[in-house]
Amino acid sequence: MERGRMSRATGSRPSDLPMRVQDSNRMSMVYTTPQSKFGKLSIPKPQSGTSERRTSFFGARTSGAGMPRNSIMSGFGGTEKIKDARPLHDKSFVQQCIRQLHEFLTEQGYPGTLSSKTLQSPSTKEFVKMFEFIYRQLDPTFEMPNSKVEEEIPALLKALRYPFVLSKSSMYSVGAPHTWPQALAALVWLIDTVKVRNKMEKMKLQADLKKLQSYRSSLETFEANLEKKASELDDELDTTVSHLETLKHERNELQHLLQNQKFTPADVERINREKRELQQTISSLSKSLEDAEQHKWNEEIAFAKAKEKAELKLAEYHKLARKLKLIPQSAENACGHDFEIRPSECGPGSMVQYKMQIQVLTLISDVEEENSRLTNANLSLEESCEQVNFDITEKSNDVKQLREQIRKLDERLDFDMQEIAREEQEWAAEIESVENHCKLLEKKVNYGYDEAVQQLKAAQQEYHLVLQETNEERRTVANNLASVFTTAADHLSITEVTLLQLHISFLHNEKESASQKTNFNSEV
Enumerate residues 6+ apart whose C-beta is below 8 A from 211.
none
What confidence tens digit (pLDDT) does each residue in 220-236 have? 999 999 999 999 999 99
Q: Let me know whether 376 and 286 are in one domain.
A: no
Please check whether residue 17 lies inside any domain of the structure.
Answer: no
Residue pair 24/127 in contact (Cβ under 8 Å)? The answer is: no
- What is the arithmetic mean of pLDDT over 332-341? 69
Which of 360, 395, 413 terminates a domain? The answer is 360
Torsion-angle region of 90 (φ positive above 0: left; ψ -120 to 50: alpha; else: beta):
beta
Verify that 338 and 440 share a domain, yes or no: no
Statement to judge: residues 177 and 236 lie in one domain: no
pLDDT band for 242, please (50, 70, 90 cuts). very high
Beta strands (DSSP E) in 256-309 are none
Q: What is the pLDDT of residues 109-138, one digit of tens each?
A: 888 777 777 788 788 888 888 888 888 888
Give strand pairing partners of 81: 72
What SS3 class is residue 358? coil
Name the least confident of 3-17, 178-192, 431-445, 503-517. Answer: 3-17
In this structure, the dihedral spanned by the alpha carbons of residues 136, 137, 140 and 142, taken in order and rounded to 10 degrees, is -20
Cis omega before residue 181 (within 30°)? no
Residue 457 lies in a domain: yes
Domain identity same for 153 and 250:
no
CB 101 within 8 A of CB 188: yes
Q: Residue 164 in contact with residue 82, Cβ under 8 Å?
A: yes
CATH value at residue 180: 1.10.418.30
Tell whether 355 and 366 lie within a shared domain.
no
184 and 247 in a single domain? The answer is no
Distance CA 329, CA 191 (A): 32
What whole-number distance in Å separates Cα of residue 244 and Cα of residue 120? Answer: 94
Residue range(s) defining the domain that contains residue 255: 211-360
SS3 state at 28: coil
The answer to whether residue 242 sits within a structural domain is yes
Residue 144 lies in a domain: yes
The verdict on 107 and 171 lying in the same domain is yes
Instruction: Give the count of alpha carbons within 13 A of 150, CB side only.
Output: 10
Neighbours of 182 (CB within 10 A): 18
Q: CA 157, CA 348: separation in Å to the nearest integer?
A: 61
Q: What's the chain's average pLDDT?
A: 75
Q: CA-CA distance, 97 to 185, in Å (whole number)?
A: 7
Q: What is the DSSP letter of 524?
A: -
| 324 lies in the same domain as 367 | no
Per-position b or e across 440-454, b if 16+ CB within 10 A of its CB: ebeeebeebeeebee
**Is 66 part of any domain?**
no
Q: What is the pLDDT of residues 497-518, one digit of tens each?
A: 888 888 898 888 888 888 877 8
In a domain, 10, yes or no: no
Domain shared by 356 and 408, yes or no: no
Q: Are residues 354 and 401 in the same domain?
A: no
**pLDDT exceeds cutoff 60 at 98:** yes
CA 294 to chain centre: 50
14 within domain boundaries: no
Domain count, the chain: 3
> Which residue type does 374 have?
L
Question: Do the beta carbons of residue 141 and residue 129 sit within 8 Å?
Answer: no
| 379 shares its domain with 476 | yes
Q: What tens digit of pLDDT does each residue of 269-305 get? A: 888 888 889 989 998 898 888 888 898 899 889 989 9
Give the pLDDT score at 17: 37
Q: Are 343 and 308 in contact (CB under 8 A)?
A: no
Higher pLDDT, 445 or 230: 230
Show which of 199, 225, 250 is a domain's final residue.
199
Which of the listed residues 146, 165, 199 is the one where a domain comes to its end? 199
pLDDT over 70, % of the chain: 76
Q: Tell me: do 177 and 278 sit in the same domain.
A: no
